[in-house]
């Protein structure tokens, strides 16, 4: 079946460091790919998305590219801030009659000042 | 306010009691979802709804009941709460424009 695998956390970085959170997926068909972010005490919110191969999603300095050949959607940011501390979820959604969304397990990021 | 709201935000109840968690969205999205979030299990889908009066089971539906008489509301009922249902519950809706989901702020439920 479809699945999403993302790197285990927690990831601890110093402010201004480069961030990569790996995400790979398995899916039949052509899913849309998403990164969601969850700040403490809140629900998930959309960070960025890509709907087809080679699309790059970007938002708030974060980027991810839909790589069909490697079935990956790695999240990157060039310079993290303390305010980026949160849990990041990779997800895919497919329209299969209805909709099916598969979430990764989440990666907690701590950014130190 | 536009968006998706959940109530209550916090709830403590006793084993065996019936509890209803409310969810309301203002966008008129057709699809709505209920998830539970637990340490070590991530997000798990309980039930979803494709439209008013159309609901279906997700990954972990046992012990839960849903209804959807109006597009904007999607309540989740625990018929007889158990300690294993202690969790954080999230409601979400999905936009057909880009398939992204919008989440409510969550309800933290404790069953004693």
Q: What is the pLDDT of residues B18-64, one digit of tens each?
A: 999 999 999 989 999 999 999 888 899 999 999 999 999 999 999 99
Are the CB atoms for B6 and B22 separated by under 8 Å?
A: yes
- Chain B CA closest to residue A93: B99
What pLDDT is recorded for position B39? Answer: 85
Q: Sort out which chain B residues have CB atoms less than 8 A from A41's CB and list them.
A: 105-106
Residue B2 has pLDDT above 80, yes or no: no
Contact B43 A32 (CB under 8 A): no
- The pair of structure tokens assigned to A25 is 């997926």
Rg (CA), chain B: 13
Separation CA A80–CA A103 (nearest Å): 23
Which chain B residues touch A107 with a CB distance below 8 Å?
none
- Residue B96 burial (CB < 10 Å; 0-12/13-18/19+)? exposed
Q: What is the pLDDT of residue B23?
A: 98
The whole-number pLDDT of residue B88 equals 97
Q: Name the residue in chain A with its Cα closest to that of B49.
A: A98
Residue A98: its pLDDT value, please?
79
The tens digit of pLDDT for each residue in B57-111 reads: 999 999 999 999 999 999 999 999 999 999 999 999 999 888 999 999 999 999 9
What confidence score (pLDDT) does residue B1 get? 61
Biggest CA-to-CA distance, chain A: 47
**Could you tell me the two tokens for B38?**
């637990």
Q: Is the dihedral of CA A2, B44, A45, B52 positive or negative?
A: positive
Segment holding B111, helix H or strand E: strand B107-111
| Model confidence pLDDT, tens digit, residues A58-103 | 999 999 999 999 999 999 999 999 999 999 999 999 887 778 899 9
Within 10 A of B76 (CB to CB), how many other CB atoms are there? Answer: 22
pLDDT at res. A93: 93
Q: Which residues contact B36 (CB under 8 A, 6 or more apart)?
A: B43, B44, B46, B60, B85, B87, B88, B89, B90
Q: By the CB < 8 Å criterion, does A34 face chain B?
A: yes
Contacts of A93 in chain B (CB under 8 A): 94, 99-101
Judged by CB atoms closer than 8 Å, whether chains meet at A46 and B94 is answered as no
**What is the rounded average pLDDT for all residues in chain A?**
95
pLDDT computed for residue A69 by the predictor: 94
């Amino acid at each position: 079946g479809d699945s999403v695998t993302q790197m285990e956390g927690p990831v601890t970085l110093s402010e201004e460091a480069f961030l990569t959170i790996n995400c790979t997926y398995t899916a039949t068909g052509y899913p849309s790919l998403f990164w969601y972010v969850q700040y403490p005490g809140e629900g998930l919110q959309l960070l960025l998305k890509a709907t087809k191969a080679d699309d790059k999603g970007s938002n708030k300095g974060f980027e991810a590219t839909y790589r069909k050949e490697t079935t990956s959607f790695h999240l990157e940011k060039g310079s993290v801030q303390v305010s980026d501390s949160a849990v990041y979820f990779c997800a895919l959604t497919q329209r299969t009659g209805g909709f099916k969304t598969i979430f990764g397990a989440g990666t907690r990021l701590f950014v130190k000042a | 306010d536009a968006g998706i709201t959940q109530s209550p935000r916090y709830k403590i109840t006793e084993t065996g009691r019936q509890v209803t968690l409310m969810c309301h969205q203002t966008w008129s999205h057709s699809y709505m979802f209920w998830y539970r979030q637990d340490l070590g299990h991530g997000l798990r889908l309980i039930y979803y709804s494709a439209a008013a009066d159309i609901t279906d089971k997700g990954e972990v539906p046992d012990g839960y009941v849903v209804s959807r008489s109006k597009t904007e509301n999607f309540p989740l009922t625990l018929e007889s709460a158990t300690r294993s249902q202690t969790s954080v519950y999230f409601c979400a809706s999905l936009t057909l424009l880009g398939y992204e989901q919008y989440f409510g702020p969550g309800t933290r439920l404790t069953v004693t």
